[in-house]
Amino acid sequence: MELAQRLSAIPPYPFMELRRKIGDARKKGVDVISLGVGDPVESTPEGVIRELARQAEDQANHPYPPDEEKGMLLFREAVAAWYRRRYGVTLDPETEALGLIGSKEGVHHFVLARVNPGDVVLMTDPGYPAYRASILIGGGEPVSVPILPENGYLPKLEDISASVASKAVAMFLNYPNNPTGAVATRAFFADLVAFAREYDVAICHDGAYSEMLFDGTERLSFLNAPGAMDVGIELNSLSKPYNMTGWRIGMAVGNRALIAGLSKVKENTDSGIFAPIQHAAIWALEHEDAHIARMLEIYAKRRTLVVDTLRSLGWKYDPPKGTFYLWIPTPEGMSSLDFATLLFEQASVVVAAGTAYGQYGEGFVRIALTVPDARLEEAMDRIRKVLS
């Protein structure tokens, strides 16, 4: 049976390919250590699990959830309170916050709410592959904006030609950045707002790693920038800060018109987030700040282990300040795919080739710190043996 033509333009999702590769090797008895996917191995906080169980026993939570297309008002109020406490950002939970079935859903709905067929949408390269796929599914034209190490992996907005910028209707950005780990500054966000105003570009800032920061780096929301609410939205998620990747709950916050657009897409697409999950998310937002701090201590220790290993092997490498990823240059003369293949075939260690995130990812691989300490130590021992 012939499928829709739009699917032919979408490249295979790299993480699905990684999982297939790992599965095939494990079926053959190979002890594979995967550092390729950012899925925290530590449990969701116990208080969150208890709240889910308590709310799931209440039959009143079994029908369609209240305010199904927006998320429960109680959840949106908790989101607004969390943004006020963590970032100093004021939101109206009625009109400037929306519950999502994970922030990835928000990426897709943003395109459907803003982009018409043929519209240009800017996205950073390297960048999260789901941005490109959603743009293509929505009929838009993705245009890559390079983010390079010499610029701190921030796009040089002044290098985007006026002819391209004037055609663009939207832009995807993500800081702290996946895959590079780079962080944005207040000055950059201010410049981004000015750029968006000048060209009428709707900004979709993906803040899924906003809590994953090291070395005293300032925690920022795009909405901290004056005027940001006029030009865009921010996506966020409970997946990374609260180890809730499988729970599929996040939020979109910001510009009222865009939030209303996403809400209209949602009301015609799904029937909301299971109410007990929303109640559990409220518990996380209100009670689990200490969990974030504990996880950052764990990631900092693992980060040090990997950096020390690389330096012992001759890398001159300074780790990024954000996310639980390390964006590592490949050995001289080796492509991203060659280096990833070497580690897989000779060390049974999986890393993500930089080219999975765009052409400007060439020459890098991404390592995720979301494995148990002992497995990460084993992976570093294997890598050290292969590269020594």
% pLDDT > 90, the chain: 91
Question: How far apart, in whole angstroms, are the C-alpha atoms of residue 72 and residue 272?
Answer: 9
At 154, the amino acid letter reads L
Among 288, 308, 330, where does a domain finish?
Answer: 288
Range of the domain at 140: 46-288
40 and 51 inside one domain: no
Look-up: residue for tokens 């410049």? 191
What does pTM read for this prediction? Answer: 0.95
31 and 145 inside one domain: no
281 and 355 inside one domain: no
pLDDT digits (tens, 9 = 90+) for 118-140: 999 999 999 999 999 999 999 99
Question: How far apart, in whole angstroms, are the C-alpha atoms of residue 58 and residue 65?
Answer: 13
147 and 167 inside one domain: yes
Span 138-153, average pLDDT: 97
206 and 294 inside one domain: no
213 and 294 inside one domain: no
Asked if residue 69 has pLDDT above 90, the reply is no
Confidence of residue 15 (pLDDT cuts 50, 70, 90): low
- φ, ψ for residue 336, nearest 5 deg: -60, -45
pLDDT digits (tens, 9 = 90+) for 190-220: 999 999 999 999 999 999 999 999 999 999 9
Looking at residue 14, its pLDDT comes to: 67
Looking at residue 25, its pLDDT comes to: 79
Looking at residue 12, its pLDDT comes to: 75
Question: How far apart, in whole angstroms, are the C-alpha atoms of residue 374 and residue 310?
Answer: 17
Of how many residues is the chain composed?
A: 388
For residue 85, the tally of other CB atoms under 10 A from its CB is: 12
Looking at residue 254, its pLDDT comes to: 98
Among 288, 307, 328, where does a domain finish?
Answer: 288
At 343, the amino acid letter reads L
98 and 184 inside one domain: yes
Domain at 316, CATH number = 3.90.1150.10
Look-up: residue for tokens 């739009």? 6
Domain at 244, CATH number = 3.40.640.10
Looking at residue 190, its pLDDT comes to: 98
Cβ atoms 155, 149 nearer than 8 A: no
pLDDT digits (tens, 9 = 90+) for 347-365: 999 999 999 999 999 999 9
Among 246, 262, 288, where does a domain finish?
Answer: 288
Average confidence score pLDDT of the chain:
96
Asked if residue 13 has pLDDT above 90, the reply is no
307 and 338 inside one domain: yes
pLDDT digits (tens, 9 = 90+) for 232-286: 999 999 999 999 999 999 999 999 999 999 999 999 999 999 999 999 999 999 9
270 and 202 inside one domain: yes
pLDDT digits (tens, 9 = 90+) for 94-106: 999 999 999 999 9
Confidence of residue 178 (pLDDT cuts 50, 70, 90): very high
Please state the domain count of the chain. 2
